[in-house]
Amino acid sequence: MEWIYLIAAGLLEMLGVTMMNQFHKDKRLRWIFLLIIGFAASFFLLSLAMEKLPMGTAYAVWTGIGTVGGALIGILFYGEPKDGKRIFFIALILGSAVGLKLIS
């Protein structure tokens, strides 16, 4: 169950980061509200996951999901560069997070 909490926490971190970008583009209060909800729920689920998982593993996977997800959302929805080097390094981050899961 802790891995489900951790993956959900990473996805909610992606929501928070996306809402931060939305607020930067469009200064509406709803983006701040969703940003706060996303990050608060993410931290809560991360804390639940860390009850069973080692702190280093949980934090690395959580930030990896957020980093990869944020980069992919930027590429897919906000016109950020999608060159081969960028995709390669995003894949390295993802592979590292999966590797930590496999050895934990």
Torsion angle of alpha carbons 85, 86, 87, 89, nearest 10°?
80
- pLDDT tens per residue across span 12-31: 999 999 999 999 999 999 99
Q: Give the model's pLDDT for residue 11.
A: 97
Q: What is the pTM of this model?
A: 0.88
pLDDT tier for residue 100 given thresholds of 50, 70 and 90:
confident
Q: Give the model's pLDDT for residue 104.
A: 73
- pLDDT tens per residue across span 38-57: 999 999 999 999 999 999 99
Q: In the predicted model, what is the mean pLDDT of residues 74-97?
A: 92
- Residues 6+ away with beta carbon under 8 Å from 16: 35, 38, 39, 42
| Residues 82, 84: Cα–Cα separation, whole Å | 7
Q: Give the model's pLDDT for residue 55.
A: 94
